[in-house]
Amino acid sequence: MDATVLGAWVATGLTLFIFSFLYKDNPLFKLAEHLYVGVSVGYTIVKAYDTVIVHLIIKPIFEQGQISLLIPVAIGLLMLTRYMPKAAWMSRYAFAFIVGLGSGLAIPRTISSFILKQVEDTVRPLLSQAGEGVTFSMSLLNPASNLNAIIILIGVSSVLFYFFFSIEHSGPGKVVARTGIVFLMIAFGAAFGYTVMARMSLLIGRLTDLIEFSDASYGHPTLWLLIVTVAALVLLARRRQQEPPAAP
């Protein structure tokens, strides 16, 4: 049998096993799920070995004599002491280095990209130059228009205010906080719509594959395996009925 054809059968089978969870949690799903974890962990290990050990450590050290790379190797090895209770404290050096480096790198870059840049773009003139005079552009569709600049300003400030914790939301503050929550909900709505879109796309992708694999050139794996899966589910359900119910 051709490797691709066999692959089509395996892929189809595993896809259907996972989909069987929709009916209920069952051994076929658990099998596929654990296989998934196993295979992806194995994959990660192989990739880490090949990329890190072979290409980033062994080759540079032995072929180019970059002895200094032994330092990160030592730090990395220290990290693995976490699983030896007596020496576990040594792993702290590794974490101290990584976390310190990460925090240090983060501070100026976060200020630059997520605070200054964002503030800079929010601070926009509420009037725009048109020839000699100044005008107020009303177009909602142009995100850079003055009207939208005002809306963005209101949105940013009211949401920032909503997440103020040292001021009571009362009086005029209450109005601002209410505006903030309306803005928040609209943004969550947009995220909701987009997430629905994303999940549906995933389903579309999987079904496209299943349709592709139902082709005669593969020997109709989708059809046959669907029958097998359903039969297995029925069988399993029968067997469970005969067993005494397990204690909760």
Partner 1 sequence: MAFAERMLKIDRRIIFLVIGLCTLLPLLYPVGLPIKISPEVRSVYDYMESLPERSVFLLSIDFDPASKPELHPQAIALLRHAFRKDLRVVAMTLWVSGTGMADQLLTQVAKEMGKENGKDYVFLGWSPGGTAVIINMGQDLYTAFPSDYGGKPTKGIPVLEGVHSLKDVAYAISLGAGNPGVEAWYVFGKDKYKFELGGGCTGVIAPGLYPLLRSGQINGLIGGLRGAAEYESLIGQKGRAVAGMDAQSATHAAIIVLVAICNIFYFSLRSMARG
Partner 2 sequence: MIFLRRQLPLLITMITGLLFAGQYYVPHPASELLLTSATKWLQIIGGFALVLGVTSLFHQHAAKIRRKEAGWGYSLVLYAGMLVTIAVGIWASGKESIDGAMTLFGWIYSFMMVPLQGTMFAILAFYIASAAYRSFRARSREAAVLLIAAVIVMMGRVPLGEYLVPLSGDVSQWILNVLNASVRRAILIGVSLGAIALSFKIIFGVERSYLGGSKE
Partner 3 sequence: MSILKKTSSCVLPLLKHSTYYDSGSRSLRPCVRTRTLLNILWIHVWVLLSLLPGTFSIVFAQSTLTVPSDLQAMDTPNDGGESLTVLWAPSPLDGPDGRYQVLFGEASATDPTALKVIAEFPANTRYVKEAKSAWWTRKVERTWHQYVIRNGKGIEMKNGTAYTVTVAMRKGEEQAIGPLIQATPSPDWFNWNQFNNLILALGFGGLVFYTISHAKRNNIFLRRIPGLDAVDEAIGRATELGKPILYLTGAHDMSDPSTIAAAVILGRVAKRTAAYETELMVPHRDPITMAVCQEITKQAYLEAGKPDLFKEDSNFFITADQFSYTAAVDGIMLRKRPAANFFMGSYFAESLLLTETGASTGAIQIAGTDSDHQLPFFVTTCDYTLIGEELYAASAYLSKEPVQIGTLRGQDIGKAVILTVVMVGTVLATIAVATGAQWPQLFLDLFRDLK
Q: What is the dihedral of CA 104, 106, 107, 111, to 10 degrees?
A: 160
B/e letters for 198-213, b = 16+ CB within 10 Å, e = fewer, are: eeeeeeeeeeeebeeb
**Can you tell me which of 5, 11, 21, 151 binds partner 3, judged by CB under 8 A?**
21
Site for partner 3 in 147-166 (CB under 8 A): 153, 156-157, 160-161, 163-166
Least Å distance between CB 57 and partner 1? 11
37 binds partner 3 (CB under 8 A): yes
Cβ closest to partner 2, residue 132 vs residue 243? 243
Contacts by residues 139-146 (CB-CB < 8 Å, ≥ 24 positions apart): none
- Exactly one of 119, 144, 211, 234 binds partner 3 (CB under 8 A); that residue is 119
Among the listed residues 1, 2, 67, 108, the single contact to partner 2 using CB under 8 A: 108
| SS3 label, residue 214 | coil
CB of 131 to partner 2, least distance (A): 26
Cβ-based nearer residue to partner 2, 22 or 216: 22
Partner interacting with residue 134 (select from partner 3, partner 1, partner 2, none; CB below 5-8 Å by kind): partner 3
Provide DSSP, 94-130.
HHHHHHHHHHHHHHHHHIIIIIIHHHHHH---SSEEE
d(CA 228, CA 12): 12
Which of 24, 25, 59, 106 touches partner 2 (CB under 8 A)? Answer: 106
Residue with tokens 């299943």: 210
What is the nearest approach in angstroms of partner 3 to the Cβ of residue 57? 28
Question: Could you say whether residue 208 binds partner 1 (CB under 8 A)?
Answer: yes
Task: Write the CB contacts of 133 (distance below 8 Å, at least 6 apart in sequence).
Answer: none
Q: Should residue 18 be labelled a site residue for partner 1 when binding is judged by CB under 8 A? A: no
Q: Which is nearer to partner 1, 87 or 112 (CB)?
A: 112
- β strands within the chain, DSSP E: 128-130, 133-135
Q: Which one of the spans 74-82, 123-131, 168-176, 217-225 is the region binding partner 2 (CB under 8 A)? A: 74-82
Q: Are 50 and 61 in contact (CB under 8 A)?
A: no
Q: How far is CA 168 from CA 84, 171, 173, 181, in A?
A: 50, 9, 8, 15
Q: What are phi and psi of 170, to 5 degrees?
A: -140, 165
Site for partner 1 in 113-142 (CB under 8 A): 113-114, 117-118, 120-121
Does 89 bind partner 2 (CB under 8 A)? Our answer is: yes
Instruction: Of 157, 156, 152, 131, give the one whose Cα is nearest residue 142.
Output: 152
List interacting residues with partner 3 (CB under 8 A). Answer: 21, 25, 30, 33, 37, 107-108, 111-113, 115-117, 119-120, 122-129, 134, 153, 156-157, 160-161, 163-169, 184-185, 188-189, 191-192, 195, 248
